[in-house]
Amino acid sequence: MTDSKEKNVIRRNNVQIKGKGRQTMIFAHGFGCDHNMWRHVAPAFESDYRVVLFDNVGAGGSDLSAFDQKKYGTLHGYARDVNDILRAVGTENAIFVGHSVSAMVGILACIEEPALFDRLVLVGPSPSYLNDGEYLGGFNQEDIEQMLDFLDTNYLGWSGAMAPAIMGNVDRPDLAGELENSFCRTDPDIAGHFARTTFLSDHRADLPKLRKPSLILQCSDDVIAPDAVGRYMHAQLRDSTFVQMRATGHCPNLSAPEETIREIRAYLGLQH
């Protein structure tokens, strides 16, 4: 990758580099969020790793002009961006930490260019959100269509209704408020497009193609990625480790950062 291309990637995805370790650890955020969602977790790894944070195109401080409906009509477009970022920062053998839909993005990126990855940490992952026979993704087709229609017609209303459901932790409304504010900072057209790309995707067939070790962090009472989904992924991903967290909801990086840090450090063999 040429210097100008590297600079374009860094600018496009608002890439931030911190830490002093030799090995790279890259954190990828979920739908409607930006790299700020890792602020309680990522600093805990800066003494051991070179920590890379970024925003998906369309989120946070990314270059909105780079958004392309065709490219980002599948998760593969976001996966190519992850690999672009890893090449731009000059690394191989990275540890990828992905939340929600970005967990699947990381899997696709690793399948495409495995040399760039050492292992993956998958937080609340799901390969498909739709129920299909014995597979319980959490939503039926009508649920998804109604949710997407609601998002298209009243994005602020959708944000206010969905944030508490996604976050869980009803006794801590400030967490849902932060997620709602994050949703509201996202361009509604881009958010709607990304929602369709996310909730209508089905990458179950890709799971056996992953050849790198992975950790699955499964929250309790997660309405977006239920227990059955995490256990399905564990069964499909070779060399995967499954951890049922005490954290509830879908965003342990915000609601339970200490537990999230502890489980990742244990998996990586780091001293507490």
Amino acid at 252: P
Between strands 16-19 and 50-53, the pairing is antiparallel
The SS3 call for residue 84 is: helix
Tokens of 234: 């564990």
Q: Which of 234, 230, 241 is nearest to 266 (CA)?
A: 241
Q: Is 100 a catalytic residue?
A: yes
Give the separation between CA 216 and CA 167, rounded to whole angstroms: 18
List 34, 81, 250, 255, catalytic entry:
250
Between strands 117-123 and 240-248, the pairing is unpaired
Residue 216 per-residue DSSP state: E
75, 108 contact by CB (below 8 A) = yes
Q: Is 272 a catalytic residue?
A: no
List 100, 102, 126, 255, catalytic entry:
100
List 84, 159, 222, 255, catalytic entry:
222
Q: Is 143 a catalytic residue?
A: no
> Catalytic residues, which ones?
100, 222, 250
